[in-house]
Amino acid sequence: MAKTNAARMLDSAGIHYELREYQVDEDDLSAPHVAEAVGMPPDQVFKTLVARGDRTGVLLACIPANTELDLKALATASGNKKVELVAMKEVLPLTGYIRGGVSPVGTRKPYPVFLDETVDLWDVIAVSAGMRGCQVLLAPGDLVRAVDGQRCAIAK
């Protein structure tokens, strides 16, 4: 498998990780399905959502696969009055990644990353490696270091 941009960035930062491939189901790109495909509980697999704040602009939210983003909590955590998810057609131009393959690591431009505080419950979590069909497994602290992320309660 070719290294993704996210994997290359983790390599250059000296961060230990594991890539785990899975069979993509184009009819079900949901994060809980991905968690099942990589053999991990949904609350240990984090999906990355692209949002836009009214004050700060584009930001990323990483939340457990089986939860929904709490937009009000994200707005508060990010210093915005209001936050909305970006339109699907904006995801690729903004991040360089397609839906179902958005990684918090290695986006086109560095965006603020907000990680749900439940990342600290795990020794290892999974996030997209930057393509459908591959997850990167790493320690939460290493992900925080890689993206200069902030931990906060943003899922419900």
pLDDT in tens, 32-81: 899 999 999 999 999 999 999 999 999 999 999 999 999 999 999 999 99
Please give the biggest Cα pair distance in the chain. Answer: 42
User: The pTM is what?
Assistant: 0.94
Q: Which CATH number does the domain housing residue 65 bear?
A: 3.90.960.10
Owning domain of residue 49: 5-152
pLDDT band at 2 (very low <50, low <70, confident <90, very high): low
Q: Tell me the C-alpha distance between 57 and 48, whole Å.
A: 16
Structural tokens at position 99: 């839906």
Q: What is the pLDDT of residue 149?
A: 82
- Report d(CA 69, CA 133) in Å as an integer: 23
CA dihedral (95, 135, 127, 88) positive or negative: positive
Any idea which residue has 């999974």 for tokens? 126
Cα radius of gyration rounded to whole Å, the chain: 14
How far apart are the two ends of the chain, measured CA to CA in Å?
Answer: 35
Number of domains in the chain: 1
Per-residue CA distances from 138 to 16, 64, 115, 124, 143 (Å): 7, 15, 14, 5, 7
